[in-house]
Amino acid sequence: MSYDFDPELAPFAARMPPLDYADPAGARAALRAVMARQPAYRPLSRVVVEDRTVPVPGGPGVTVRLYRPPARRGPRPALVFPHWGGFLTGDLETSRTAATRIADLVGAVVVSPDYRLAPEHPFPAGFEDCAAALEWTAAHADELGVDPARIGVGGFSAGGGLAAALALRSRDRGGPPVCFLYLLFPQLDDRLATGSARAFVDTPMLDRGNLVLSWQHYLGGGEPSPYAAPARAAELRGLPPAFVGVCEFDPLRDEGIAFAQRLVGAGVRAELVRYPGTFHASVGLAHAAVSRRMTADQIEALRRGLGA
């Protein structure tokens, strides 16, 4: 199938094949290589990076990486920011560039959990690690210089799916309160029944075949729940204000659009942006004007949503 990619992205599309989720170890190595080639973000002010170990009920504990901007008058917002990688790849280094940029330009403390990966640890292991990171952030708000009323959750791809699930869990269980939800090309629906999930079988970085494998690994044969696949939530009323960004030629496009539309229908203030000519994770091609626009939209949305 041919795609009308943005002219600045098109030359790279053929050189960015999907990771092979049939080989989790190989896919992890491939993602590490991809991220190592990304240009580092150079912050305008000093961002302090620190790792902490957070207890997880019934689990071994999870390492979280804190990105702390310079102290300012009064408490700062925070963003719990799970990394991307189809629930089975990625680590603390995966989100370093994005997290540093957010801490620097938004002025938020970013909390990035190194959650357990499938298939070795299927749902709910990784999700419980992220939930523990959110609860720890709220419980340690004073120590972190964070305003507990301005804690948001967000993520790209699988990280977006985990962020949406955290917002659902906080709503259902009475906290910690989440003030904003930021989702960029989020992975939300294991049913893969949307038009884009059916049509995009050969798209760069992510295609239908790898989506099938991703969900198989993550669910581990268990019964899907809204905390695993947030698109399955029967009710979205009561979720925080949200920003949802989707890529035009991405199997995940239509589930992101549908989720944003459902949020609006449930009375949630939500913004939806579709980036033309883009493919899954093409924001990593930072030279392109459309990628710069995606990043600028992210920073502006987080500033507004977190009251920064």
Concatenate the DSSP letters of all residues of 29-51 into one string.
Answer: HHHHHHHHTSPPP--SS--EEEE
- CA 62 to centroid of chain Cα atoms: 18
Q: Is position 250 annotated as part of the catalytic site?
A: yes
Active-site residue, selected from the candidate residues 95, 112, 157, 214:
157
Active-site residue, selected from the candidate residues 83, 121, 217, 280:
280
pLDDT at residue 15 in the model: 86
Task: Compute the distance between CA of residue 179 and CA of residue 77 in angstroms, rounded to an integer.
Answer: 10
Strands 181-184 and 270-279 come out as unpaired
Residue 272 in 3-state DSSP?
A: strand
Residue 227's contacts (CB-CB under 8 Å, 6 or more residues apart) are 123, 124, 127, 165, 168, 169
Closest CA relative to residue 205, chosen from 290, 280, 294, 95: 280
pLDDT at residue 61 in the model: 95
- CA 268 to centroid of chain Cα atoms: 20
Q: Is position 91 annotated as part of the catalytic site?
A: no
Task: Compute the distance between CA of residue 302 and CA of residue 130 in angstroms, rounded to an integer.
Answer: 19
pLDDT at residue 20 in the model: 93
Active-site residue, selected from the candidate residues 6, 114, 189, 250:
250
Whether this model's pTM surpasses 0.85: yes
The tens place of each residue's pLDDT in the chain, 308 residues long, gives 789 999 999 999 988 888 899 999 999 999 999 898 888 899 989 999 999 999 999 889 999 999 999 877 889 999 999 999 999 999 999 999 999 999 999 999 999 999 999 999 999 999 999 999 999 999 999 999 999 999 999 999 999 999 999 999 999 999 899 999 999 999 999 999 999 999 999 999 999 999 999 999 999 998 899 999 999 999 999 999 999 999 999 999 999 999 999 999 999 999 999 999 999 999 999 999 999 999 999 999 999 999 98
pLDDT at residue 139 in the model: 98
pLDDT at residue 14 in the model: 85
Task: Compute the distance between CA of residue 82 and CA of residue 230 in angstroms, rounded to an integer.
Answer: 15
pLDDT at residue 70 in the model: 87
